[in-house]
Structure 1
Amino acid sequence: MFSSLRQVSRRGSALRISRTPVCRPAALTFSRTLVTKKYTADHESISFDDEAGLGVVTITEYAQKSLGDVVFVELPEVGSTVASGDAVGAVESVKAASDIYSPVSGEVIAINEELGGQPSLLNKSPEEKGWLFKVKLSDPAEMDALLTAEAYKEHCES
């Protein structure tokens, strides 16, 4: 019995490899998105995605260090229209309270809901997990009036 199984397994053991052609697209299309980060003199920053026309507003590392431990964050309402330079919310810490100013004009399309329960995210990760709100810019040219990273650094040092 075992010899017959060996015979069958030997006969069927030869592997047959068939090659199928791989289909490749004639041309690959890549889209390039430019994300620009700018700053305000009031210590907000905005990362702007030119393709989507969206900006993510945060406070800067410098601002969170100046504030100390954040205990409360007030943000604008989703769907509200904001203007460049307008106070749109507030941050309260154990040291002080400070207004949040919109760096650009547009419509607020999202807010960071996590800050309601975890305002300390502003201290832990102010420019990433502690983002404040997302805005659909009404005039992307307003980005030109904001400070570059180098100009903001000079502003903080003066």
Structure 2
Amino acid sequence: MSTDSESAYGDTYGTDRAVAKWSSAIVALLGLWLVAAPILVWDAVGADFWNDVVVGAAIVVLAAYSYYESSDDDPSGGTWASAFNALLGLWMIVAPFVWGVAELLFWNDVAVGALVAVIAGYAAFAGGESPAGLGAEQRT
């Protein structure tokens, strides 16, 4: 008889890892888009250009870390990185209003920010949960 958490609680850790990995990969791609779009697609200038590049690069790095940690035995390892990415996504929603961006670049920042906030926020939420009756100290 196996006493590991998989037999008692189903395959929650495998599901959590899969959610964390996929969401981290999607968020990393969105971060890459944030870095590339102002350079390749739109002619962004000034503060918004640097905001997109720096925040996009930070999103990529944090998502890569979260992806790496989700490959571990502990699916909640990259939860803080996903939570920080969710905050960066919220900043990207607000940033176009702060910098006074217009037209398509405005909507790009808002849409990408919303997607990053929702996906990374869900990953942080899902990674922070533990099965009923199983505390964080017992998961290791």
Q: Tell me the TM-score normalised to structure 2 length.
A: 0.24
> Greater strand share, 1 or 2?
1
> Greater helix share, 1 or 2?
2
Q: Tell me the TM-score normalised to structure 1 length.
A: 0.22
Higher relative contact order (CA 8 A, sep 6+): 2
